[in-house]
Amino acid sequence: MPPYEKHVLVCTSCEGCPGFQLLKALRQELKRQGAPPHIRIQGADCLDACDFEDTVMVVYPEGAWYGKVALEDVEEIVQGHLLGGRRVERKLIDFPARTVGGVPLAPGSSGCATSQESDGTPTSST
């Protein structure tokens, strides 16, 4: 399999999360449009952006964070962004940019699987 041109992570961390329906719909729409296999869509544990917008997904390598993504938005995101290279501006999350190595992160994210409590002890983000 060639390297992925786009990698989409959909937050599916909560039981009954609408992200599971979004994940399925994105995959179905990509298949319906005959998308090449170099686009990967997968569920992810918490993306640390739920405080900003629910139903969150992020598209890499651009680091485009989408929030409040509804099933009605799927065709536009697949056709416009994933296949057409144009971000769907109205669904982008507007939060202050933070980066690690040039890669955008959600606010509150440390860029690794663990962070520290205020007393310095490690804590897992999952």
pLDDT at 120 over 90: no
The percentage of the chain sitting over the pLDDT mark of 90, rounded to a whole number, equals 52
pLDDT at 60: 95
Question: Hey, what's the torsion of the CAs at 16, 21, 22, 25, to 10 degrees?
Answer: 170
Q: Which of 64-68, 109-113, 114-118 has the highest mean pLDDT?
A: 64-68
Domains of the chain: 6-124 (3.40.30.10)
pLDDT at 101: 73
Is-above-0.95 flag for pTM?
Answer: no
pLDDT at 111: 42
Average pLDDT over residues 3-13: 92
pLDDT at 115: 37
Q: What does the alpha-carbon distance between residue 55 and residue 69 come to, in Å, rounded to a whole number? A: 6
pLDDT at 48: 79
pLDDT at 118: 41
**Tokens read off for 8:** 């989409």
Average pLDDT over residues 48-61: 83
C-beta atoms surrounding 103 within 10 Å = 11
